[in-house]
Amino acid sequence: MRRSRKDGDSVDEERDSRRRRIVDSPSSPAEEPLVPYNDDEDDERRVLDHSGGAEEVGRRVETEEEDDDDDNDDDPYGRGSILDKSNRQVEVRRDCPYLDTVNRQVLDFDFERFCSVSLSNLNVYACLVCGKYYQGRGKKSHAYTHSLEAGHHVYINLRTEKVYCLPDGYEINDPSLDDIRYVLNPRFSREQVEQLDKNKQWSRALDGSDYLPGMVGLNNIQKTDFVNVTIQSLMRVTPLRNFFLIPENYQHCRSQLVHRFGELTRKIWHARNFKGQVSPHEFLQAVMKASKKRFRIGVQSEPVEFMSWLLNTLHADLRISKKSSSIIHKCFQGELEVVKETQNKAISERKEGGGEHNGALKIMDGATENNNIGTETYRMPFLMLGLDLPEPPLFKDVMEKNIIPQVPLFNILKKFDGETVTTTVRPPARMRYRVTRLPQYLIVRMSRFTKNNFFREKNPTLVNFPVKNLELKDYIPLPAPTKENEKLRSKYDLIANIVHDGKPDEGFYRVFVQRKSEELWYEMQDLHVSETLPQMVALSEAYMQIYEQQQ
C-alpha cells in the first residue's frame, strides 16, 4: 500500500536529499571506506515502507540477482575493491582464513540449483563447507543466516562462479578454488576437444577411484535406465559430442533442453571431476518439461521412443530457420525412396457400377493406377531405420525347450532393397523401401516389443551382426555417387549397441559402447562400467544400434 505524501514527508525528503548527495558529489573510490556488500538493505527498506507482502519479496530477490549482475570483475582503480553501479563496493581479498574449511568431498553440482530453504532458483549460492544451496548473501538472506548459525563461511555463486566469505561479505580471489569452478562448469578448448579420442589417460576421483573421461556411469534416479543408455550411445557420435562440448556453438539457442544436454556432455567428458559418476538430474527435469511429462522419472519408457523424440526436439530447437539444418541432421539424416501401393476405392466403385471395365494404366498427380491399385512414389528423410524380426516359434523342440531363433542382420536389412514388400494394416497398403542416401551415422532398431489387447510381448530372436566392416552395398542397392571422383561410402563400424534383458515390463536396459582411443568395448549399465570382449557384444538381444560410416 502506497504511503501518502503527508504521512511519509520526512522519509521522502531524507531519501531525496541522499540521492542528490550521491548524484551531485560522487566520492572517489579512494576516499570512500570499504564496506561489506549488503544487497538486501535498500530492498528491505522498500518492503517495510510499502508492506507489499510476497510480491515485494519476490521483487527484492530479483534485485539481488541484478546486483550480482552489476558486479564488475575488472578493478579499474587498482584499489583492491569492486565498484558497482550503485556506488557500493565489494572488497576483493586473496587471503581468507576459512579456505581450509572447504570440503570438496561433499560438493555435488549435478542437482537442480534451488535454495534448500526457499526453493527459489534466483541468486543461489552453494556452501563450500557442507554443499547445501542457499539464496542471497545479504543480511536477511538464507546464506547469511546459515553462515552465522553453522559457522560456514565460504560460498560460491552458482551462476557467476564468484566466491564470497560470509558474513564479512568480501569476495575471495584465490587460484586454489579454480578446480571447483571447473567442476561447476566444465570447460573445453577446441584443441582439447580434438584430442579427446586420442587420450588414453585415466582420471582419479577424490575418493581414490579411477575413471575414464567419457566412460563414467550415470545415476539411475528411478527407472531412468532408458535415458542413460540413450545418452551413453549418443556420446560416441564424435561430431555431436564435439558440437555440445563448446557452448558457443549453441549460445543463440534459448532451449533449456539444449543447454542441459550440453552441460551433461561436458560433465561426462570432463577429466577433473570430483567423483567418477554423473547424475543426469537437471537434464531429466528439462526432458520432463520439454516433453510435457511424456518421459518422466519413475515411469519406464523405451529408448527408441526417447531417442526419436530427443533427436527431433534438439533439431527443432537448434535450427535458426525452418529450412536450415542442424548438427542432428548432419549426423543422422538419410533418405528413403518409398513406393506405396493402395487399393483404389473410387475405381472399385466405378467398376462395380460399370463405369470402367479395363485395367488400363493411368497417371494422376504423380501416381499411377493399375488394376484397382494406386501407386505413389516419394522421397522421405529418416533419422532411424526400423528392422522387423521374424516371428519366434510357437512350439517346443523334442528336448522340451524353446528354441531361441537367430537371424542374420542382412536378412532383415532386405526390407530396404526396393523389392521386398512390407504390408501395413492401418491404412492397408503395400510398401517398398529403398535407401537413396546414407547418413554418416546409421541408427537401426529391432522391433522386439509388440502390444495386443491383453499384454505386451517380447521377441527373443537373436540378431547376428558384424562389429566391424558392415558392407551395406552387398545386401541393398545403393545410389551411385553424385560426383565423379566421389567414393561410395557404404562400410560401417558399430559404435553403440543397446540391449534389453528380462521380461517386457520388468526388464532393464544396458549398452555396449566403444572407446575409440584404444578400440576397446565397455559394458555400461547405469553406474556399472566394465570392459568387455567384442565377442560378447554380438551375443546379446540387440535392441538399437548406432553404426559409424568409415571415411
Q: What's at 233, amino acid-wise?
A: S
What is the DSSP track for 351-385?
HHTTS--S---EEETTEEEETTEEEEEEEEEES-E
Q: Which residue has the higher pLDDT, 310 or 66?
A: 310
The pLDDT, as a whole number, for residue 37 is: 40
Cβ contact 136:143 at 8 Å: yes
Q: Which residues pair with 413 in a beta bridge?
A: none
| Residue 369 pLDDT | 56
Is the pLDDT at 485 greater than 70, yes or no? no
pLDDT in the model for residue 267? 93
Per-residue model confidence (pLDDT) at position 83: 47
- Is residue 543 pLDDT above 60, yes or no? yes
Percent of the chain with pLDDT over 90: 34
The DSSP string of 132-148 is: -EEE--STTSHHHHHHH
The more confidently predicted of residues 344 and 30 is 344
Mean pLDDT in residue range 369-393 = 83
Q: Give me the chain's average pLDDT, please.
A: 79
pLDDT bin (cut points 50, 70, 90) of residue 141 is very high
- Sheet strand arrangement including 124-127: 81-83, 89-93, 170-172, 163-165, 154-157, 124-127, 133-135
In this prediction, residue 451 carries a pLDDT of 81
User: Which element (helix H / strand E) includes 432?
Assistant: strand 429-437
Q: 3-state SS of the chain: helix, strand, coil percent to 5?
A: 30, 25, 45
If you average pLDDT over residues 183-203, what whole number do you get? 88
Lowest-confidence pick of 15-24, 141-150, 353-362: 353-362
Q: What is the mean pLDDT of residues 318-338?
A: 89
128's grid cell: 563450500
* Secondary structure element (H or E) that encloses residue 244, with its range: helix 238-245
User: How many residues are given for the chain?
Assistant: 551
pLDDT over 60 at 353, yes or no = no
Question: Where in the chain are all domains bearing CATH 3.90.70.10?
Answer: 192-318, 332-343+373-549
| pLDDT top residue among 55 and 109 | 109
For the four alpha carbons of 470, 471, 474 and 478, in that order, the dihedral sign comes to positive
| Domain 192-318: assigned CATH number | 3.90.70.10
pLDDT for res 49: 41
Specify the pLDDT at position 422.
87
Span 512-522, average pLDDT: 89
Average pLDDT over residues 133-138: 91
Give the pLDDT of residue 397: 61
How much is the average pLDDT of 147-159? 93
- Residue 6, pLDDT > 50, answer no
Closest to 123 in 3D by CA, of 137, 102, 110, 139: 137
Distance CA 110, CA 283 (A): 9
CB atoms within 10 A of CB 470: 23
pLDDT at 5: 45
Digit-coded pLDDT (tens) for 301-312: 889 999 999 999
**CATH of range 92-182; options 3.30.40.10, 3.30.1360.70, 3.40.50.150, 3.40.50.720:** 3.30.40.10
CATH 3.30.40.10 maps onto the chain at 92-182
- The stretch 353-363 carries a mean pLDDT of 42
Tell me the per-residue pLDDT of 427-467, one tens digit each, with 9 for 90 and over: 788 899 999 989 999 999 998 888 877 888 888 888 999 89
C-alpha cell at 515: 572407446
| Highest mean pLDDT: which range of 51-55, 327-331, 364-368 | 327-331
Contacts of 411 (CB under 8 A, 6+ apart): none
Crossing angle for the helix pair 256-269 and 238-245, to the nearest 10 degrees = 100
Q: Which of 70-79, 83-92, 398-407, 459-468 has the lowest mean pLDDT?
A: 70-79
For 395-432, the pLDDT digits (tens) are 666 655 667 788 888 889 989 988 888 888 877 888 99
pLDDT of residue 306: 93
Kindly report, residue by residue over 7-39, the tens digit of the pLDDT: 445 545 555 554 444 444 443 333 333 334 444
Cis status, amide bond into 460, omega within 30 of 0: no
User: What b/e readout covers 264-286, taking b as 16+ CB neighbours within 10 angstroms?
Assistant: bbbbbbbbebbbbbbbbbbbbbb
Of 4 and 261, the one with more pLDDT? 261
Question: What gap in Å lies between CA 551 and CA 546, rounded to an integer?
Answer: 16
Per DSSP, 155 falls in state E
| pLDDT tens digits along 240-255 | 999 999 999 998 889 9
Homologous superfamily, domain 332-343+373-549 = Cysteine proteinases (3.90.70.10)
Q: Which helix (H) or strand (E) segment is 409 a member of?
A: helix 409-413
Residue 544's φ and ψ, nearest 5 degrees, are -150, 140
Residue-level pLDDT at 393: 72
* DSSP H or E segment with residue 286: helix 281-290
Question: Could you tell me which of 116, 138, 134, 117 has the C-alpha nearest to residue 125?
Answer: 134
- Burial class of residue 380 (count of CB atoms within 10 Å of its CB; 0-12, 13-18, 19+): exposed
